[in-house]
């Protein structure tokens, strides 16, 4: 059902579009020590565009995961275009956030983290972050955030007006040999889509360094072990 | 010989003390509990509070487990007006059963000393099901690969071999209209037919049998921090939508006063996504005037897998929200003041016994 014109900011069409903008923000500015979450949508509108598809204009606030949803908020505005194409193609986002450049407080932690894990014999691996009880160890926190940022590339690409993605859990992380001074990490992430309630599993290879930020090099959708077949025994 | 007999007796006494100590050891409401511990806890609540708690088995799951609720309130010879709360329709939403247990603990711990809760116990019965989808909940505890299971555990068939039905799409309220999938592998598979699942039938049977007493239906879920009002189907409004929104917004305000968390209020087609066949819609559909779905913490960060250190604050705020709703409904039905007030589809003076119960709701 098409929502056009001014949108109710608390309703889902505005929120879905803002979530897409949020994924875009995290792909560009996320790091092992910074992940943004949506705090509130202030204003939203949508219109059909000539080439087909729908364009949303949004005014919203985000907060850093580290400071929680009550922490200092960053004000952003974005244009999100959901194209109308035969085969799915990801939304296009233009984003402006105030004072983004001024946020540099995590540089020290990033460098320390980088130095610790860039060494040739570093081979971090872990499963289930968080565990079933919601625990994330101190050591795994930056990897958890990195996974969320890397997953944002996939969530952004896969989004449409009929989806609303979040990362539910990191199934595994396995450090690969560093390349070109980038930390190389293979993640398996479990994404949750609200409307379908599905858990969708993706394997991805991501690189990170303080200078280059997060890049996603490979992604592979993994059909989940279907609960269709009866257990082997 | 005598020494060893005495030693044996000492050991037996100590073991006996230990056993009773284990029984009375405090239950930890800040941890997630597997189903067997929840069942033991339910027995304990009934045993320790015989004046106000009784348990009722009202159905069976697909895997043939008893579905049990705790009926809580001052015992009465005639049926009292009632409030229903169920938790854990969706297996992976562990904070929901944790909240039901917390809620029971709170009201049992305060009804003797808190005038408000005492009055609620006098005028109302609480019917509380800590875990409705027991099979699914147990499955979500099995290992790390099952934590995010949602549905029941109904076995697949020859034609479609995946397990489980989404119980919250299986209720006979606009069943199959929207927000569902006919693919049995989908997480929103609504079942072969409405009420195909024994868990659904347990609830529909009970609510049907207690329709006239039931004032309020509350169903607890997570995540997303919302208070959902009927209906899930677009363009279908409950006749008392305005009032439901008012009550929901007041509850959201009460929640926010505890730890500052904001909860959105609205119908699913507005704030979440269109759905059909939900238990919340069914309750409203059969005439229970106040029906709400509470979606607890959090939003994006932990999502389904809320850390245990958030159980306490989540439950504290949700408790205030639930109590806000329950008190509104209680005061509307029991406050003795000579005020003429429209109740549903009839007028009555509140200081006379309201004759509204004689009328079947129009909707």
User: Three-state secondary structure along B285-350?
Assistant: HCCCCEEEEEECCCCCCCCCCCCHHHHHHHHHHHHHHHHHHHHHHHHHHHCCCCCEEEECCEEEEC
Q: Is 60 exceeded by the pLDDT of residue A227? A: no
The set of catalytic residues of B is: 295
Judge: A37–B161 Cβ closer than 8 Å, yes or no.
no
Judge: B166–A197 Cβ closer than 8 Å, yes or no.
yes
Q: How far apart are the C-alpha atoms of B292 and B299, rounded to whole Å?
A: 19
Phi-psi region of B76 (alpha: psi -120 to 50; beta: other; left: phi over 0): beta
What integer is the mean pLDDT of B16-29? 61
Which one of A1, A11, A168 has the shortest CB-CB distance to B304? A168
Q: Could you tell me whether strands B66-72 and A213-222 are parallel, antiparallel, or unpaired per DSSP bridges?
A: unpaired
What integer is the mean pLDDT of B78-104? 97
Phi-psi region of A78 (alpha: psi -120 to 50; beta: other; left: phi over 0): beta
At residue B21 the predicted structure's pLDDT band, cuts being 50, 70 and 90, is very low
Chain A residues bordering chain B (beta-carbon distance below 8 Å): 1, 8, 10-12, 37-38, 40, 65, 69-70, 127-128, 130-136, 164, 166-169, 190, 192, 194-199, 225-230
Q: Is 60 exceeded by the pLDDT of residue B29? A: yes
Name the residue in chain B with its Cα closest to that of A67. B301
Name the residue in chain A with its Cα closest to that of B224. A194
Chain Cα centroid distance, residue B295: 11
Helix (H) or strand (E) holding B243: helix B241-259
Q: Is 60 exceeded by the pLDDT of residue B15? A: no
Please tell me the predicted confidence (pLDDT) of residue B357. 41
Judge: B163–A229 Cβ closer than 8 Å, yes or no.
no
Q: What is the per-residue pLDDT across A169-194, written as a single tens digit (0 to 9) for each?
A: 999 999 999 999 999 999 999 999 99
B273 chain-A contacts, CB cut-off 8 A: 12, 164, 194-195
What integer is the mean pLDDT of A217-226? 86
Please tell me the predicted confidence (pLDDT) of residue B331. 97
Could you state, in order of their start, the residue ranges of all structural domains in chain A? 5-221
Please tell me the predicted confidence (pLDDT) of residue A3. 63
Could you state, in order of their start, the residue ranges of all structural domains in chain B? 29-149+199-358
Average pLDDT, chain B: 90
Q: How far apart are the C-alpha atoms of B43 and B40, rounded to whole Å?
A: 5
Average pLDDT, chain A: 92
Of residues A109 and A227, more confidently modeled: A109
Q: What is the per-residue pLDDT across A127-162, written as a single tens digit (0 to 9) for each?
A: 999 999 999 999 999 999 999 999 999 999 999 999
Of the listed ranges A225-229, B283-287, B306-310, B340-344, the least confidently predicted one is B340-344
Judge: A227–B163 Cβ closer than 8 Å, yes or no.
yes
Name the residue in chain B with its Cα closest to that of A12. B271
Which one of B266, B272, B303 has the shortest CB-CB distance to A168? B303
Please tell me the predicted confidence (pLDDT) of residue B362. 37
Q: What is the per-residue pLDDT across B324-343, written as a single tens digit (0 to 9) for each?
A: 999 999 999 998 543 444 44
Of the listed ranges B19-28, B66-75, B167-176, B297-306, the least confidently predicted one is B19-28
CATH class of A5-221: alpha beta
Instruction: Return the number of CB contacts < 8 Å for A and B.
Output: 103
Q: What is the per-residue pLDDT across B141-162, written as a single tens digit (0 to 9) for each?
A: 999 999 999 999 999 999 999 9
Peptide bond into B231 cis (omega under 30): yes
pTM for the predicted model, two decimal places: 0.90
Judge: A226–B185 Cβ closer than 8 Å, yes or no.
yes
Q: Is 90 exceeded by the pLDDT of residue B134? A: yes
Q: How far apart are the C-alpha atoms of A94 and B146, rounded to whole Å?
A: 38
What integer is the mean pLDDT of A43-69? 92
Name the residue in chain A with its Cα closest to that of B234. A1
Judge: B308–A194 Cβ closer than 8 Å, yes or no.
no
- Per the listing, tokens 């092992």 go with A32
Q: What are the strands, taking DSSP E only, across B12-112? A: 53-60, 66-72, 81-87
Q: Is 70 exceeded by the pLDDT of residue B20? A: no
CATH 3.40.630.10 corresponds to the domain B29-149+199-358: yes
The two three-digit tokens of residue B17, written as one number: 């003390």
For A9, half-sphere exposure in the C-beta direction (CA atoms, 13 angstrom radius) is 12
């Amino acid at each position: 059902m098409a929502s056009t014109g001014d949108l109710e900011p608390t309703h889902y069409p505005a929120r879905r579009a803002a979530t897409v903008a949020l994924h875009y923000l995290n792909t560009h500015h996320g790091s092992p020590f910074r992940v943004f979450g949506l705090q509130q949508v202030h204003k939203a509108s949508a219109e059909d565009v000539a080439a087909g598809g729908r364009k949303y204009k949004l005014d919203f606030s985000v907060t850093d995961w580290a400071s929680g949803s009550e922490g200092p908020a960053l004000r952003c505005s974005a244009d999100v275009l959901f194209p109308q194409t035969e085969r799915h193609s990801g939304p296009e986002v233009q984003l402006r956030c105030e004072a983004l450049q001024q946020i540099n407080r995590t540089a020290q932690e990033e460098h320390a983290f980088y130095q610790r894990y860039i060494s040739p014999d570093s081979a971090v691996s872990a499963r289930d972050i968080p565990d079933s009880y919601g625990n994330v160890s101190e050591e795994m926190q930056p990897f958890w955030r990195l996974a969320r940022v890397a997953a944002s590339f996939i969530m952004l690409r896969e989004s449409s007006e009929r989806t609303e993605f979040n990362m539910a859990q990191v199934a595994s992380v396995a450090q690969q040999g560093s390349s070109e001074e980038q930390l190389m990490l293979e993640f398996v992430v479990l994404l949750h889509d609200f409307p379908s309630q599905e858990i969708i599993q993706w394997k991805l290879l991501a690189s990170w360094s303080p200078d280059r930020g997060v890049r996603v090099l490979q992604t592979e959708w993994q059909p989940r072990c279907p609960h269709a077949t009866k257990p082997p025994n | 010989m005598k020494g060893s007999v005495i030693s044996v007796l000492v050991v037996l006494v100590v073991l006996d003390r230990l056993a009773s100590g284990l029984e009375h050891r405090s239950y930890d409401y800040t941890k997630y509990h597997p189903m067997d511990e929840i069942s033991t806890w339910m027995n304990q609540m009934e045993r320790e509070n015989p004046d106000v708690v009784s348990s009722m088995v009202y159905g069976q799951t697909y895997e043939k487990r008893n579905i049990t609720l705790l009926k809580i309130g001052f015992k009465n010879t005639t049926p009292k007006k009632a409030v229903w709360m169920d938790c854990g329709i969706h297996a992976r939403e562990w904070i929901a059963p944790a909240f039901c247990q917390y809620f029971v603990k709170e009201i049992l711990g305060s009804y003797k000393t808190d005038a408000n809760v005492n009055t609620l116990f006098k005028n109302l019965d609480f019917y509380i099901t800590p875990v409705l989808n027991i099979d699914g909940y147990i499955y979500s505890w099995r290992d790390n690969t099952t934590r995010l299971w949602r549905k029941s555990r109904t076995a697949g068939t020859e034609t479609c071999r995946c397990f489980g039905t989404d119980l919250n799409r299986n209720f006979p309220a606009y069943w199959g209209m929207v927000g569902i999938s006919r693919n049995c592998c989908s997480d929103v598979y609504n079942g072969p037919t409405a009420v195909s699942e024994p868990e659904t039938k347990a609830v529909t049977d009970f609510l049907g049998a207690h329709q006239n007493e039931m004032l309020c239906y509350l169903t607890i879920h997570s995540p997303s921090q919302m208070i959902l009002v009927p209906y899930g189907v677009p363009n279908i409004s409950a006749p008392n939508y305005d009032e439901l929104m008012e009550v929901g917004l007041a509850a959201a305000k009460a929640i926010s006063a505890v730890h500052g968390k904001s909860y959105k209020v609205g119908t699913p087609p507005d704030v979440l996504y269109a759905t059909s066949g939900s238990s919340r819609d069914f309750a409203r559909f059969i005439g229970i005037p106040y029906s709400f779905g509470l979606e607890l913490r959090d939003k994006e960060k932990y999502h389904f897998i809320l850390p245990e250190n958030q159980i306490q604050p989540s439950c504290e705020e949700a408790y205030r929200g639930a109590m806000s709703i329950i008190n509104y409904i209680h005061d509307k039905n029991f406050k003795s003041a000579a005020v003429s007030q429209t109740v549903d589809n009839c007028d009555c003076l509140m200081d006379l016994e309201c004759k509204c119960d004689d009328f079947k709701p129009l909707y």
